[in-house]
Amino acid sequence: SQTIHQWPATLVQPVGSPLSLECTVEGTSNPNLYWYRQAAGRGLQLLFYSVGIGQISSEVPQNLSASRPQDRQFILSSKKLLLSDSGFYLCAWTSIGGRGNTIYFGEGSWLTVV
């Protein structure tokens, strides 16, 4: 069966420090991969998505970036964090199918920028 893991689960980072969140999917190949962010009590904001290795599309201009170095690995990064980057970050994946995509989320990473 397919599984998705992301880490770390929780982190507290000072303003201006770098960030790296990692996500891996197992049990499938060539998935679509996504990074979402949730501010407290808010909806799901799509940050990045990828349809293949090295292929990244950004939905929102910001100081974050994403990379996909391997088929089932997706990384969210920042060189310098802002206070507004605090939130709950969710990695997700879907299989590329012809009848609509079921999206599955990782456990999430709580980021607090102080």
Does residue number 99 form part of the binding site for other proteins (CB under 8 A)? Answer: yes
Four-CA torsion 51, 68, 82, 36, nearest 10 degrees: 40
Distance CA 100, CA 81 (A): 35
CB of 50 to other proteins, least distance (A): 10
Q: What are 16's two structure tokens?
A: 């201006």
8 Å CB contact between 32 and 53: no
Q: Which two tokens stand for residue 87?
A: 């939130």
Part of the chain binding other proteins (CB under 8 A), chosen from 12-20, 64-72, 73-81, 86-94: 86-94
Instruction: Write the interaction track for other proteins spanning residues 1-30; mark x where CB under 8 A is met and - where it is not.
Output: ------------------------------
Residues that bind other proteins (CB under 8 A): 32, 34, 41-44, 46, 49, 51, 88, 90, 94, 96-108, 110
